Amino acid sequence: MVHYHSCRDFDVIGEHILRSEVAIMNTGTAAMDVKKYTMTGMQAQVRGFLFALPFLLLIFGLFRGFLFQRAVLLDMQGIGFTVVMVVIIVLSVPMHEGLHGIGWRIFGKAGKGQIAFRLQGLMPMCSCRAALRPSGYLAGVMMPFLVLGGASLIFLLVYPGTISLLTAVVNFYMAGADIAIAFFVVKSGAELVKDAEEEAGFVAMYRE
């Protein structure tokens, strides 16, 4: 059972604010201090872009500096570009969310029923209902960046072109918010971490 205090504090990270709520959670035999870190949708988009930006710049620099001469460039405008982007996103998003679940299941040792998939609007979402050790939680959070980001980078290096470039951009951009969350998990110094299921963020737990 969670008992929330009436107070609310704010952790200022650069120019952005990470909202937190302080609570006490009784987990079995040990009471734990709980701090909930969440981001609004706009904060997640902005912070995700900022954390993804170094990787996006690296991709564009690599493409322009070393791959452009042998790239297969498609003449896409208007509806053609839109269709390609939609296809890439539709294929990437379910894999991205599925990799979160696989990472939490394998490395976080989350049990059956503790990985939840749902639709939020029209977007598939994955969350972990279990409190995990930070290393296991981070593995699940970073799995899409490592797998999809790595695979799209290899795709770009082997077959440079419009499709592979857009695939890399989409997958690294989507991983930006995950990188931001991973950064704040490490910064929190939590002993256990749990997803904030209805919001972008996590719950950090500390032994009293």
* More confident position, 74 or 5: 74
pLDDT at position 30: 58
- The per-residue pLDDT of the chain, averaged, comes to 83
User: What would the pLDDT profile of 139-168 be if each residue is shown by its tens digit?
Assistant: 999 999 999 999 999 999 999 999 999 999
More reliable by pLDDT, 3 or 129: 129
Average pLDDT on 78-106 reads: 92
Dump pLDDT digits (tens) for 11-31. Answer: 433 333 344 444 444 444 356
Measured in whole angstroms, how far is the alpha carbon of residue 200 from the centre of its chain? Answer: 9
Place of tokens 């201090």: 33
Split at pLDDT 50, 70, 90, the class of 42 is confident
Which residues in 117-146 are b (16+ Cβ under 10 Å) and which e?
eeeeeeeebbbbebbbebebbbbbbbbbbe
| Cβ atoms of 32 and 25 closer than 8 Å | yes
Question: pLDDT per residue over 65-88, tens digit each?
Answer: 999 999 988 887 778 889 999 999
- Residues of the chain with pLDDT > 90, as a percent, come to 56
**pLDDT higher at 43 or 78:** 43
Instruction: Give how far Cα 117 sits from Cα of 40, 130, 183, 197, Å.
Output: 20, 14, 24, 10
Element (H, E) at 181: helix 176-188
